[in-house]
Chain A
């Protein structure tokens, strides 16, 4: 079972080839490139170097969000395009879950955070126990403040990963002493984690067709508040 996984949800771009749970190859660039220009050359270089024909791929996996608006669309659209003519299934992976799978480091709670700007983050919590990843929360968009309040309930070690990890770590300074910023080489999402999250989805029969593959966006608290205010204003007007 060969999986080709890609990630373009934040500033790095990566592609990984995993066969029966083993990483055969991975290509990772973090040089602020335009993903629409680098993703496909990265994928074809990986396939060529690993002597793999694209028709050998059984499952196409992608971090479908949360993430940057444009990045998420580039990743999902590219995977749609690769899987559709071959009629192969897709794994629509949560970026946050891919981070958890990319860091089978030490037992504890993994707090995956992506910077969503204006003191907001995309976040999900996972528990890692003997290499098994268990999801503790849904993917959500929350303020850093709210996340800090929630983390107070955990006594065990909490590992911060993702491009919002440093931001959170700074904001937690002086409190939440059980949180730890993981080293940079394993802090950010990469396609290996995407492929490993896809393995879980394959086992649980959760793949989708290229038609069904869609970006996953989360509405931020800021947008939620605005929408509520707008609806209330409208209601006032109508009554």
Chain B
């Protein structure tokens, strides 16, 4: 497990860029942490780290956004997903092994995540500071 503390959204993005540099292209990255934790900022950094110039925003309504980079990036928001049927009909399983999947609100689909994945727990410390606990990733 690796732990990091970031002091601003910019630092969060930089941390994600460093993680991006270690990826091979088909990872499943599960993020945990409530509103304002920095999940979208982290995803923005990750997409940029993979060379994407696409706009990154939380797919709360669309459920999944796709960004093109060195690998395709599939950005999921599971906030409204509460059952297996919900998850199946997002096409979640169809995306596996075809790109990097990064998931907000993984709490909601924890039973259905593949064992081989990267977990990122984000903890709120203060207004600008966050602690990132990263499991299952290569050395960042």
Residue of B nearest to A118 (CB): B112
In the complex, the answer to whether A70 meets B97 with C-beta atoms within 8 Å is no
In the complex, the answer to whether A222 meets B94 with C-beta atoms within 8 Å is no
In the complex, the answer to whether A117 meets B83 with C-beta atoms within 8 Å is no
Majority secondary structure of chain A interface residues (helix, strand, loop or mixed): helix
In the complex, the answer to whether A223 meets B84 with C-beta atoms within 8 Å is yes
Tell whether A68 pairs with B98 under 8 Å between CB atoms, given A118-B112, A220-B84.
no
| Total interface residues in chain A, CB < 8 Å | 14
Give the contacts of A219-239 with B (CB-CB under 8 A): 219-220, 222-223, 226-227, 230
Residue of A nearest to B95 (CB): A70
Residue of B nearest to A68 (CB): B94
CB distance from A40 to the nearest CB of B (A): 19
Majority secondary structure of chain B interface residues (helix, strand, loop or mixed): helix
Number of A-B contacts (CB under 8 A): 35
A164 in contact (CB, < 8 A): no
Partner of B111, one of A68, A70, A118, A219: A118
Give the contacts of A58-98 with B (CB-CB under 8 A): 68-71
A32 in contact (CB, < 8 A): yes
In the complex, the answer to whether A69 meets B94 with C-beta atoms within 8 Å is yes
CB distance from A162 to the nearest CB of B (A): 15
Q: Which residues of B contact A (CB under 8 A)?
A: 83-85, 88-89, 91, 93-94, 96-98, 111-112, 114
Q: Which residues of A contact B (CB under 8 A)?
A: 32, 68-71, 117-118, 219-220, 222-223, 226-227, 230
